[in-house]
Amino acid sequence: MRSHTKLAFLGDRSPREFLARHWQRRALHVKQAIPDWQGLFKPRDLLELAYYPECRSRLVLREGKRWRVETGPFKRGRLRALGTRNWALLVQDVNLVSPAAQDLLMRFNFIPYARMDDLMVSLAPEGGGVGPHFDSYDVFLLQGSGRRRWALSTQKDLSLVRDAPLRLLKNFQPGDTYTVDGGDMLYLPPKVAHDGVALEECMTYSIGFRAPRLQELLSGFLAHLDDESQLDGLYEDPDLLPTASPARIPAAMIATTHDLCRRSDYSKASIERFLGKFLTDLQPHVRFSGPDLPLTLKQFSVAVMRHGIELDLRTRMLRGTREIFINGEPVAIDAATRATVRALSDRRALPPGSSLGSPLLGMCYQWYRAGYLLLGNTRPEN
């Protein structure tokens, strides 16, 4: 996607204009971002997904001024017993099980995959919502079927209701209000307070972006260094002298530890490797299984030429300077395969007729056997 191409779903703004004027700065409302769009699913489809362990799901219920949250996967009888008002069903990771949902996420691929999280779909009857709150990450709210009224606020007071099962704002002060129909979209930067209430049965599609806590990044990197380090031996102090202050931490021990820290690999290459593994690592509920009757390597090579390949919906792939990262695993790449790997990681697919060199063919065959990628004619339907 060219950064200067104007896109209808960004309100006839180019990706460059949107990122410069709105990203992490101010909200944006786009009427008919996707004209007359009614979403990807019917309500019954989302209820079905809430039964699956592959999707994280929550049921939010409002009873007067009290809120209650239940977590899935749900039993069928529970969702059939819901009333006609004041609840909301939220299903996350829909892109891991629906090709159409993955295609919707790909509309936003002018933003790096390293920042992209998931597609969450919510279903609510009249009066349903999750209350006034704010998110700590960027989100696009694309309306499917039905109508919803959104109230936004740029208030600085972000104090929360104590002991609530949700992160509800204690003193929500609504400002701009929008009534959205099918195909309308709101973009909200982090910490923009908002409250969405269904005006009738409706479905909203939330494209969310990852925003790791800085402490999480630091802790993860230090753990990465610990895993990568290979230091032998024990601390030694053969020149130790008697001390009159035994509780004092020895200066020599401080100096030795400081030297060890300085010798640790804080290079950009080490940081890139950590980020590649960290950002493609799989969530605990994601599982892979390879084909029941896998092709031989020779058969696989022929099938790739005939059908192409594409990454499984659950696969996370990023690339660095000299490595590709797939589902938390780093794999070295050479100059001969770099262009093909770039195409596969950016497009998440290679078309029929693609020729894989010997090293890359072997890697792709291993990923095929693990279930990380599929032949182009085996993509599951919704």
Distances (CA, A) of 125 to 35, 45, 198, 266: 23, 15, 6, 52
Kindly indicate the confidence band of residue 148, based on its pLDDT and cuts at 50, 70 and 90. very high
| 198 and 321 fall within a common domain | no
pLDDT at 111: 95
24 & 111 share domain = yes
Is residue 244, in this structure, part of any structural domain at all?
A: no
Total count of domains within the chain: 2
The reported pLDDT for the residue numbered 1 is: 58
Per the structure, the complete domain to which residue 104 belongs is given by 8-209
- Kindly state whether residues 202 and 306 are assigned to the same domain: no
Model pTM score: 0.90
**CATH for 265:** 3.40.366.30
Contacts of 303 (CB under 8 A, 6+ apart): 295, 375
Same-domain check for residues 197 and 219: no
Residue 248 lies in a domain: no
Helix axes 297-307, 358-370, angle to 10 degrees: 100
| Pairwise pLDDT comparison (241 vs 38), residue with the higher score | 38
Confidence band, pLDDT 50/70/90 cuts, at residue 371: very high
Residues 195 and 220 reside in one and the same domain: no
Classify residue 239: in a domain, yes or no.
no
Question: Which of 175, 209, 243 represents a domain boundary (last residue)?
Answer: 209
Same domain as 183, residue 87 = yes
- The answer on pLDDT for 380 being more than 60 is no
The reply to whether 219 and 187 lie within a common domain is no
Report if residue 303 sits inside a domain. Answer: yes
On whether both 78 and 163 belong to a single domain, the answer is: yes
List, for residues 50-71, the tens digit of each pLDDT value.
Answer: 998 889 999 999 988 889 999 9
Q: Are residues 33 and 168 in the same domain?
A: yes
pLDDT at residue 379, as a whole number: 58
For range 300-320, the mean pLDDT: 95
